[in-house]
Structure 1
Amino acid sequence: MRRLKMHIALSLDGYASVPGGDLSWITYDEELAQRSRMMTADADMAIFGRVTYKLMQSYWPGVPNDPDSTPGELEHARWISQSTKIAVSTTMTQADADWPETILLGADFAERLREIKRQPGGNIMGFGSPTLVNSCLAAGIVDDLFVNLIPVILGGGNLLFGPQERRGLKLVEAVPTSSGVVALHYHPQ
């Protein structure tokens, strides 16, 4: 059975994104890239909400032709190119989900993901998409939650966890990195 693994960056004051999609606040270095490679090593599917899907679709296909791309970026671009992409949105059409190998899921996404998880194959890896992370946690379908706690206070943006039901998480691992990021791994309870 496939596992659904979600990974997200989080500021110290609880924000997972800022308006406009600016990602410059996120610390990412070779140490964190290595952790990402470990997360994707057993995954053959990537899952995103609408906003993150569009950001990733506009970025990763161009990486192989960018002479400034790092080896880690090139490796991730190859992985994502070969992976089946899942876009979760109630407003996108199949024509909007035109990145090769994309499956579009709508309002019934949780049940469809349960079906996909029962199919043979590698794991499903999500990056970003705070709304999707919350929706998947609420549906009880997340197996692993990875949070990179970034040493920055944003002072505003989109909170990762807004008002919701209380939910327990079991800490699996907490790794402080040389850049000051704390890489956290939880299992939802």
Structure 2
Amino acid sequence: MRTLTFAMNLSLDGYIAAPGDDLGWSVPSDELFQWWSDRVAATGLALYGRRLWETMSSHWPTADQEPGATPAEMEFARRWRDMPKAVFSSTISTVDWNTRLVTGDAVAEITRLKTEDGGPMDIGGATLAAAAMRAGLIDEYVLLTAPVLVGGGTPFFTALDNWVNLTLMETRAFPDGVLLTRYETRR
């Protein structure tokens, strides 16, 4: 059975985007950017909600061709294009770059995907991750917490009907005071 991980940068007060979808507070250090690139390379399937898909697909497909692109950005762009992806949306009609579109029930499809053979899956996008979280489908939570309070915006966690017990599996400090904490869901 495949594992499903929800990993995102977030503010200390728990938001993945500040009001107005502002991500200016979450610019990664070179070391953290490399961590994300290595994670993309190891992901068997990335599950995206529409808004995160639009953010990523507006930049990364051609980022390696931009003037001044760093070697790390070129590597990430290549890895991102190569990584299998599924986008969950009922409002878009086409996707590219090794991606398939899922328009049906997200929880049912994620449940099915978890039973397939293949590498680990990552889920991104607040709404999609919230549905998987409420359904008890997330096996790992990886929080990359920045030392900033943004006061509101898009929360990492959603309201839940039941507690989810977690086990701390890893901690790591990155430059600029970013702290990685990785938890496994106790079943």
Please tell me the TM-score bracket, short chain as reference. 0.7 to 0.9
1:165-180 aligned at under 5 Å gives the runs 165=161, 166-180=163-177
Match of 2:101 among 101, 104, 109: 104
* AA at the equivalent of 1:104: L
Which piece of structure 1 moves more, 78-87 or 161-170? 161-170
Q: Tell me the equivalent position of 1:85.
A: 85
* AA at the equivalent of 2:121: I
| Distance (whole Å) between structure 2 residues aligned to residue 20 and residue 75 of structure 1 | 30
Shift of 1:183: 0.7
Unaligned runs of 5+ in 1: none
1:107-122 aligned at under 5 Å gives the runs 107-122=104-119
User: TM-score, normalised to structure 2's length?
Assistant: 0.88
When the two structures are aligned, how many residues end up with a matched partner?
Answer: 185
| Distance (whole Å) between structure 2 residues aligned to residue 40 and residue 162 of structure 1 | 24
Q: Tell me the equivalent position of 1:164.
A: 160
Contact 1:27 1:150 in 2 (8 A): no
DSSP-derived class of the 1:172 partner: strand
1:43-54 aligned at under 5 Å gives the runs 43-54=43-54
Q: Moved runs in structure 1, 4+ residues, more than 3 A? A: none
Which piece of structure 1 moves more, 25-34 or 15-24? 15-24
DSSP-derived class of the 1:25 partner: helix
| Distance (whole Å) between structure 2 residues aligned to residue 37 and residue 92 of structure 1 | 29
Deviation digits for residues 97-138 of structure 1 (CA, Å, limit 9, x no counterpart): 3223322224521221222222222222234x1222222121
Counterparts in 2 of 1:107 and 1:139: CA distance versus 1, 3 Å: farther
| Distance (whole Å) between structure 2 residues aligned to residue 76 and residue 122 of structure 1 | 19
Q: Tell me the equivalent position of 2:23.
A: 23
Contact 1:5 1:126 in 2 (8 A): yes
Q: Tell me the equivalent position of 1:149.
A: 145
Shift of 1:59: 0.8
RMSD (Å), alpha carbons? 1.9
